[in-house]
A and B are shown apart, each in its own frame.
Chain A
């Protein structure tokens, strides 16, 4: 047996010399030849291309040198605008149901049963409110965003995006398919990191993994939308507010894309130098999207899955928050100690201690940053008439009142802008970090993927703050 196998390999070695070097090409040629022959016999084409070629027309338009990018921008803009405008009403409805009606009801029941105050506070004011907040704020935008995005995907637009971005990625020294993993990242960075498996070269794949966090994931854009509405939309006349908010969110998303290019470029010229690998990107035919099926699958698969993840993290985070706000050490609560400790750093980069603590709490899920910020702000400023006590996450029923809380907390336009920037540029959430480790199996690259954006976030917000203060003379 052993001799036999070695003999086979030996013969093969000799034969290989006889056949010559273009062996591989000869095999491929034979296969192609037969494939063509068989296909020709089976296929008949009717009406030789006389009809208007719709696919070709759309392709020329959406991948054209002049129109490709504006169309891409408009589509993205349209999706965000529909999401922002459309989510308002169901969001208000959900929050009045879960927060204004159900929460007092639960409190009443627990009072009737004589549940001890700290259990009642921990579970209802901590866990329940955090969860309810996440549901009411996240569910409506996701239920609009994901189906729209999936429709675009089903239609066949995503590969055209990749086609448009390909030469930029190439200039950045990255793989063209990174456009696809980046687009996935807009839905969820963990999913985006997994989707980098379509990139074969380990070097280019690592670049795609390290930069995926710059694709604004959906857990972060409720923050972006709220802050954009409060700080930027409110400066515009009412009829333009939605548009301005959408524009600024798209602006942040595009900044993320720009950072993806820049960081890819920097990585491919320093630590991850190497050959560019070629690939063929097939532009699939456009297909009429299956609207109902898309609605169903994107609601079940994406929306509910992401929401469930948020809820799972929000509940314990709510407990932690409530505890940290109610554990008094010395004179003040644990949360206030932390805030005071981080405040100087926060102010230096145009944020404040509250925001930094909120990001610390929100490592498992970016979704709960805003409710945490609101709760902590009320805690430290001690404004009366707003909020319901220490450690109670709440949602204010009008943006005007949220605005009041922020102002009481010393927020300015700079704080708003820097919060949007920091939300784009900071460490990935714990799920994504874990996924990166799973994919790279390297502690070193996981640490880089975590600390690189965090460091960049500090640097960028610091410079923005310095420039702002310089020009505004504050």
Chain B
């Protein structure tokens, strides 16, 4: 697969400036309808979570979308509290939750547990993963873990300005195809790519884009065997759970929080979410809205 002819397209965020395309029928054109609502989060239609490694510009993206000025700084781990803000797009209101920056979701620290619990049990309509384009490999570790939990994901391929400075070319379409979710190149510090990001967020939230998330291949036979055995059992008890494979892995790994959730049936709430997203996806497919 890796030997395939690669299509190299350098993405300079300015190129995607909607005003320069002049395409009024293009959905991106509506990006001018972004209303930053600051802390006004009443009556939201959708919840979006903002996840990502530390120091990838998550807070900057948060500020660019909400118009808030949460303090940003160039050092890892400076967001210590969960910040919330709102924005309105195409007459729908979004509540945006900025999660603490983490390298993984294995819940080995408080930060990771907060982020993980919100993505899993908070059931956001969209999870935006902010990714450092200059450190793609390490950042993808988190992305793959998020994709195991939910397919309602948009990747903000951030710090594209840095990537350019480091002479990195990133084929974001290839990335989107491999990951199975929308990837939007951004440079939040300079407010570039934000329109396209909002557009992608709204499409996933409204079910117009349905992801086909990449699943990690566990190449150890005995591991694979154990996971599929357990998945069967989980699906018997929770037939409609969307992320049985991930739950199985967590239980096998001895994740106390998840084991507790299985024991007291909290895991059941995940089923309703899956039912909803599947329905929305179907409707969207029928109306031919999917791009």
Interface mask (A1-28 → B, CB under 8 Å = 1, otherwise 0)? 1001111110110011011100110110
CA–CA, A188 to B141, complex, Å?
36
Q: B74 to A35, Cβ gap below 8 A?
A: no
Interface mask (A427-448 → B, CB under 8 Å = 1, otherwise 0)? 0000000000000000000000
Q: B75 to A284, Cβ gap below 8 A?
A: yes
What are 8 contact pairs spanning A and B, CB under 8 A? A9-B251, A16-B252, A19-B252, A31-B144, A47-B167, A153-B73, A159-B76, A195-B80
**Pick from B55, B75, B140, B167: contact of A35, CB under 8 Å:** B140
List the A residue with the shortest CB-CB distance to B179. A38
Contact partners of A34 in chain B: CB under 8 A: 140, 144, 214, 216-217
List the B residue with the shortest CB-CB distance to A39. B137
Interface mask (B133-166 → A, CB under 8 Å = 1, otherwise 0)? 0101110110111000000000000000010001
List the A residue with the shortest CB-CB distance to B2. A41
CA–CA, A180 to B78, complex, Å?
9
Number of B interface residues in the complex (CB < 8 A)? 68
With most chain A CB atoms within 10 A of its CB, the pick from B170, B171, B251 is B251
With most chain A CB atoms within 10 A of its CB, the pick from B76, B178, B248 is B76
Q: A156 to B141, Cβ gap below 8 A?
A: no
Chain A contact residues (Cβ within 8 angstroms of B): what range?
A: 35 or more
A331 at the interface (CB under 8 A from B): no
A residues 146-162 with Cβ under 8 Å of B?
A: 150, 153-156, 158-159, 162
CA–CA, A30 to B221, complex, Å?
12
Q: A42 to B170, Cβ gap below 8 A?
A: yes
CA–CA, A1 to B271, complex, Å?
14
Complex A-B, nearest 4 residue pairs according to Cβ-Cβ distance, in ascending order: A4-B237, A35-B140, A39-B137, A197-B80
Contact partners of B189 in chain A: CB under 8 A: 287, 290
| With contact pairs A26-B220, A47-B167 given, residues A15 and B252 touching in the complex (Cβ less than 8 Å) | yes
Q: B71 to A285, Cβ gap below 8 A?
A: no
B91 at the interface (CB under 8 A from A): no
**Pick from B74, B80, B170, B236: contact of A198, CB under 8 Å:** B80
Min CB gap B47→A, angstroms: 23
CA–CA, A44 to B70, complex, Å?
34
Min CB gap B73→A, angstroms: 5
| With contact pairs A46-B168, A297-B69 given, residues A38 and B178 touching in the complex (Cβ less than 8 Å) | yes
With most chain B CB atoms within 10 A of its CB, the pick from A18, A27, A36, A180 is A27
Contact partners of B136 in chain A: CB under 8 A: 39, 42-43
**Chain A interface residues (CB < 8 Å from chain B):** 1, 4-9, 11-12, 15-16, 18-20, 23-24, 26-27, 30-47, 51, 150, 153-156, 158-159, 162, 177, 180, 194-195, 197-198, 200, 281-282, 284-285, 287, 290, 297, 300-301
List the B residue with the shortest CB-CB distance to A201. B109
Main secondary structure of the interface of A (DSSP, over half): helix
List the B residue with the shortest CB-CB distance to A184. B78
Q: B230 to A15, Cβ gap below 8 A?
A: yes
Known: A35-B137, A35-B138. 14 other contacts (CB 8 A): A1-B237, A15-B252, A18-B225, A19-B222, A30-B219, A32-B141, A38-B214, A44-B8, A51-B167, A159-B76, A198-B80, A297-B69, A300-B69, A301-B71
Contact partners of B263 in chain A: CB under 8 A: 5-6, 9
List the A residue with the shortest CB-CB distance to B141. A35
Min CB gap B129→A, angstroms: 13
Contact partners of A35 in chain B: CB under 8 A: 137-138, 140-141, 143-144
**Pick from B2, B80, B225, B253: contact of A37, CB under 8 Å:** B2
With most chain B CB atoms within 10 A of its CB, the pick from A24, A31, A41, A281 is A31
What's the A-B contact tally at a CB cutoff of 8 Å? 179
Q: B253 to A41, Cβ gap below 8 A?
A: no
B278 at the interface (CB under 8 A from A): no
Contact partners of A51 in chain B: CB under 8 A: 167
Q: A27 to B214, Cβ gap below 8 A?
A: no
Q: A44 to B168, Cβ gap below 8 A?
A: yes
Q: B233 to A195, Cβ gap below 8 A?
A: no
Q: A38 to B140, Cβ gap below 8 A?
A: yes
CA–CA, A285 to B178, complex, Å?
27
Q: A284 to B251, Cβ gap below 8 A?
A: no
B169 at the interface (CB under 8 A from A): yes
CA–CA, A19 to B134, complex, Å?
36
Interface mask (B257-291 → A, CB under 8 Å = 1, otherwise 0)? 00100110100000000000000000000000000
With most chain A CB atoms within 10 A of its CB, the pick from B71, B111, B134, B236 is B71
CA–CA, A284 to B78, complex, Å?
13
B249 at the interface (CB under 8 A from A): yes
B residues 70-110 with Cβ under 8 Å of A?
A: 71-78, 80-81, 106, 109-110
B6 at the interface (CB under 8 A from A): yes
Q: B74 to A154, Cβ gap below 8 A?
A: yes
B40 at the interface (CB under 8 A from A): no
Interface mask (B1-20 → A, CB under 8 Å = 1, otherwise 0)? 01000101000000000000
Q: B216 to A12, Cβ gap below 8 A?
A: no
Q: B170 to A43, Cβ gap below 8 A?
A: yes
Contact partners of B254 in chain A: CB under 8 A: 16
List the A residue with the shortest CB-CB distance to B171. A42
Contact partners of B144 in chain A: CB under 8 A: 31, 34-35
CA–CA, A180 to B54, complex, Å?
14
Contact partners of A47 in chain B: CB under 8 A: 167
